[in-house]
Amino acid sequence: MKNLKFLVLPMMAFAMVSCGNDKPADASASTSSTETSATTTETSASSESGQYDPKRGLGKYDESNVDVSKFDAAMAAEGKKVAEVKCTSCHKPTEEKLVGPGWKGVTTRQTPHWIMNFISNPDPMISVDPELQKQLEICLVRMPNQGLNETEARQILEYMREIDGAK
């Protein structure tokens, strides 16, 4: 019975720690305000100059660093796996709306770099993009930032291209 206590107590402690945020509250607030400040700066700079490009969006991606000249089936397969974890609770690969809009046809309506900019950092774009603001009125829920890295965003883009018939 004593041995059981030595197993159960550490497991319970581990479970309680792993379920909580691993950052102290102050660090979380600091990180959040830093991210918000960077986002606000990027959005403000674009808004002040009147330079928001609805074909590009806001972010680091543009025609020079998003090459979709060849379809990559392996990347699309990885994108499907990432999407199943981070996206399909709100989006379907069809035209059907779930929480957010369906993905079918998105690559024909938006440029690849716009998609990458949006899925990797949606907040600043939702604030300034008229089409995203219309979607927000329909869906009533802001798309959360899923913390996609560059590779994951590119894989999801390739999966979206596959949904739309890229080969």
Domain 71-167 fold is Cytochrome Bc1 Complex; Chain D, domain 2 (1.10.760)
What's the mean per-residue pLDDT of the chain? Answer: 80
Phi and psi angles of residue 91, each rounded to the nearest 5 degrees, phi first:
-125, 140
The pTM for the full model equals 0.71
Residue 35 identity (one-letter amino acid)? E
Q: What angle do CA 22, 28, 32 make, to 5 degrees?
A: 140
DSSP-assigned beta bridge partners for residue 55: none
- Match 């994951």 to its residue by tokens: 152
Q: Quick check: 69 pLDDT over 50?
A: yes
Answer for the pair 100, 88: CB distance below 8 angstroms, yes or no.
Answer: no
Model confidence over 75-130: pLDDT tens digits? 999 999 999 999 999 999 999 999 999 999 999 999 999 999 999 999 999 999 99
Q: What is the mean pLDDT of residues 4-20?
A: 44
pLDDT of residue 5: 52
With 80 as the cut, is the pLDDT of residue 142 above it?
A: yes
Measured CA to CA in angstroms, residue 22 lies from 28, 90, 101, 161 at distances of 9, 26, 33, 36
Q: Is the pLDDT of residue 33 over 60?
A: no
